[in-house]
């Protein structure tokens, strides 16, 4: 791993789970970890419920935009965390890969998305501890 690790969060639409994870990692790790997020089939905008529940936790992801997953994004990353995108993510030797089994927040109510958000936060906090130990 490089001196400052890079983490890539990937989900299908890059509009909910991966954006929430990236928002938490950026807010909680600051400049200790580089943060990327992408999707195998990105939407044109973020899930508004995801934006709202993140704001409740003091994290503003409203300015983020869904991005297409590229081979370069995977190549730049030390850790690649997938969330329901299956085999869409290219595999490179020497990378750490994890798949976080998380419900998709698309079409869900605020309470459900809050539970997903809280699960993501715990996972991101653990990841930060592992990468900065």
> What is the pLDDT confidence band of residue 87, given thresholds at 50, 70 and 90?
low
Give the pLDDT score at 89.
67
Q: Per-residue pLDDT averaged across 1-16, rounded?
A: 88
| Residue ranges per structural domain of the chain | 6-132
User: What is this structure's pTM?
Assistant: 0.93
Catalytic residue among 11, 29, 51, 116: 11
> What is the pLDDT confidence band of residue 2, given thresholds at 50, 70 and 90?
very low
103 catalytic per annotation: no
Give the pLDDT score at 26.
97
Q: Supply the mean pLDDT for the chain.
A: 93
13-37 per-position pLDDT tens digit:
999 999 999 999 999 999 999 999 9
CATH 3.30.1650.10 fits 6-132, yes or no: no
Give the pLDDT score at 1.
47
Q: Which is higher by pLDDT, 93 or 128?
A: 128
109 catalytic per annotation: no
Give the pLDDT score at 85.
67
11 catalytic per annotation: yes
Catalytic residue among 21, 80, 81, 85: 85
> DSSP letter string over the chain?
--SS-EEEEEESSSSSHHHHHHHHHHHHHGGGSEEEEEESS--SS--HHHHHHHHHTT---TT----B--HHHHHH-SEEEEES-GGGS---TT-EEEE------TT--HHHHHHHHHHHHHHHHHHHHHHH-
């Amino acid at each position: 791993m490089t001196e400052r690790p890079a983490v890539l969060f990937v989900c299908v639409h890059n509009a909910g789970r991966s954006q929430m994870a990236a928002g938490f990692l950026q807010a909680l790790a600051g400049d200790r970890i580089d943060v990327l997020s992408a999707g195998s089939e990105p939407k044109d905008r973020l899930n508004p419920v995801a934006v709202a529940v993140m704001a409740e936790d003091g994290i503003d992801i409203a300015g983020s935009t869904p991005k297409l997953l590229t081979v370069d994004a995977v190549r730049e990353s030390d850790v690649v965390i997938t969330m329901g995108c299956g085999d869409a993510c290219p595999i490179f030797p020497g990378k750490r890969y994890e798949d976080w089994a998380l419900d998709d927040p698309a079409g869900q109510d605020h309470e459900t998305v809050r539970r997903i958000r809280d699960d993501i936060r715990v996972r991101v906090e653990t990841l930060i501890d592992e990468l900065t130990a």
